[in-house]
Structure 1
Amino acid sequence: MKTLIIAAGCALAMLAGTAQAREWTEIRIAFDVPYEPFEYRDEDGNLTGFEVELAEAMCQQLEVTCELVIQDWDGMIPGLLARRFDAIMSSMSITPDRAERVLFSEPYYNTPGGWFGPESFTADVTDKSAMEGKIVGVQRGTTMDSYVTEELGRIVTVKRYTTADDMVLDLEGQRLDVVFVDYPVGEQTVLTKPGFREVGEPVKLGEGVGVAMRKRDTALADMVNGALRTLKEDGTYDTIMKKYFEYDIKM
């Protein structure tokens, strides 16, 4: 766990916003690591990535202390509801089912799911007869998991993983035929390895990714939404995004 004390950046303009900022002097934000390029540890063991840097900038904008918490994906929403942290900023797609349990911010990025596999994989991933009997890897509890389960669950074997790294290891070990993951994750974990390629067209899923908070924390949600809008307007979001992506993921 790493705590960052971030210096004051910019005063909130409205009195209501200032009152909220005084109430929320610390925000504990949860990340599932590794999920490169969104959140991961660098060679020195420091937590970094697109969402980590965006969270740090958001906290600076809000003039609050920001505590970054590592949490396995399966325990994200239960941990939030149990008050082990205040927000989830870990590529959580906005879905109707999740929105019944948590309060989402406005979406701050949207990337498609991507099909990746060995160069020898020739099946058409859109052809159910061609996919019959294949073993498909997904990260458990993600929108990619839901998509494969709903579209292909009756004809393929779906193997679910806690981390993307474990899934890629099984793909390399030929224990999977193909994986369906968040496209940037596939770019940086699969396409960087020799003998692997994109094996299908990207698939746009859901309403985008948002910061998840407890339903009653509407003041926090207002703060988060305001800060994210400011970061987009003043160019900070774009500066961070261009460090990790060669294309626009902003919503």
Structure 2
Amino acid sequence: MNTKIAREIAPKGVLRASINLGNPVLASRPDPNSDPRGVSLDLARAFAGRLGLALQPIVVDSAGRSVELVARGEADIGFFALDPDRANQIRFTTPYVLIQGSYLVRESSPLQAMDEVDRPGHRVVVGRGSAYDLYLSRGLQQAMIERAKTSPTVVDEFLRIDADVAAGVRQQLEADTQRIPGLRLLPGNFMTIQQAMGVPADRSDETLAAVQQFVEDMKADGFVARALKRHGIAGAQVAPTSTL
């Protein structure tokens, strides 16, 4: 990649990548003393290599915080769910991974289907600033939304406040059912979350095109599929390739 584009993408001379641990499909930290790992880290390293730059991961615990860092130019790239409410802050590539947003309830809950969630009096817990927070804030007409600090704490908050439904990434909710007895997922998914790379909104078309080309190359090459397999991520799909 030419030096001019590399300088525009990473003006500090190092690729600052915001890594959100709030979505276990993309990144996680096995224990507090370990380095983060996951598909987004693998992509960030590969992109830094393409640019010929060192990588500086900036690890955060929520999507909202990751958006803030990139929007303010404190990080050069990030890994986000596509959402129109973020479009004035972030310029997005095409998606590289598709994951599902699902609902979780107690075993004893009378709720049996997704279309029963949006009813008066129901409280739905989401991760503040997450893609499904933005989506459900637009879509739910009668149920009340309650917000946990981060996506991984949604189920704990759901239990703490005795809410009716927890909403989140299917893989996180499935892990919570293994961690806490007496919970179940409702059948199906309320949304497909399209995960993409993003750059600050003031970056040029040429800069965005370079990042987008990288994303398409990583899908076509099988890099994303291999990363998902390497990190043991089940249930996520590589997004279809796009014509640039």
TM over 0.5: yes
Name the CA distance, whole Å, in 2 between partners of 1:194 and 1:115.
16
Instruction: Write the letter of the residue equivalent to 2:196.
Output: G
Q: How high is the TM-score relative to the length of structure 2?
A: 0.81
Mapped pair 1:81 → 2:75:
no
| CA distance 1:61–1:231, shift in 2 (3 Å) | farther
Measured after TM superposition, the shift of residue 153 of structure 1 is 4.3
Q: How high is the TM-score relative to the length of structure 1?
A: 0.79
Equivalent in the alignment of 1:98: 86
Give the secondary-structure state (helix, strand or coil) at the position aligned to 1:212. strand
Alignment of 1:1-251 (within 5 A): 12=1, 17=2, 19-21=4-6, 24=10, 25-43=13-31, 44-71=33-60, 72-89=62-79, 92-123=80-111, 124-127=113-116, 131-154=119-142, 156-173=143-160, 175-205=162-192, 208-218=194-204, 219-242=206-229, 243-251=231-239
Equivalent in the alignment of 2:242: none
Give the secondary-structure state (helix, strand or coil) at the position aligned to 1:209. strand
| CA distance 1:184–1:61, shift in 2 (3 Å) | farther
Identity across matched positions, percent: 19
| CA distance 1:73–1:232, shift in 2 (3 Å) | closer
| CA distance 1:193–1:215, shift in 2 (3 Å) | same
Structure 2: gaps of 5 or more residues: 240-244
Instruction: Write the letter of the residue equivalent to 1:20.
Output: I
Count of residues paired in the alignment = 231
Q: Given that residues 26 and 64 in structure 1 are in contact (C-alpha distance below 8 angstroms), is that contact kept between their aligned partners in structure 2? A: yes
Give the secondary-structure state (helix, strand or coil) at the position aligned to 2:104. strand
Instruction: Write the letter of the residue equivalent to 1:40.
Output: S
Instruction: Write the letter of the residue equivalent to 2:184.
Output: R
Structure 1: gaps of 5 or more residues: 1-11
| CA distance 1:140–1:22, shift in 2 (3 Å) | closer
Name the CA distance, whole Å, in 2 between partners of 1:184 and 1:166.
14
Measured after TM superposition, the shift of residue 135 of structure 1 is 1.9
Q: Given that residues 23 and 172 in structure 2 are in contact (C-alpha distance below 8 angstroms), is that contact kept between their aligned partners in structure 1? A: yes
Measured after TM superposition, the shift of residue 52 of structure 1 is 2.1
Name the CA distance, whole Å, in 1 between partners of 2:139 and 2:85.
18
Q: Given that residues 122 and 199 in structure 1 are in contact (C-alpha distance below 8 angstroms), is that contact kept between their aligned partners in structure 2? A: no
Name the CA distance, whole Å, in 2 between partners of 1:126 and 1:191.
25
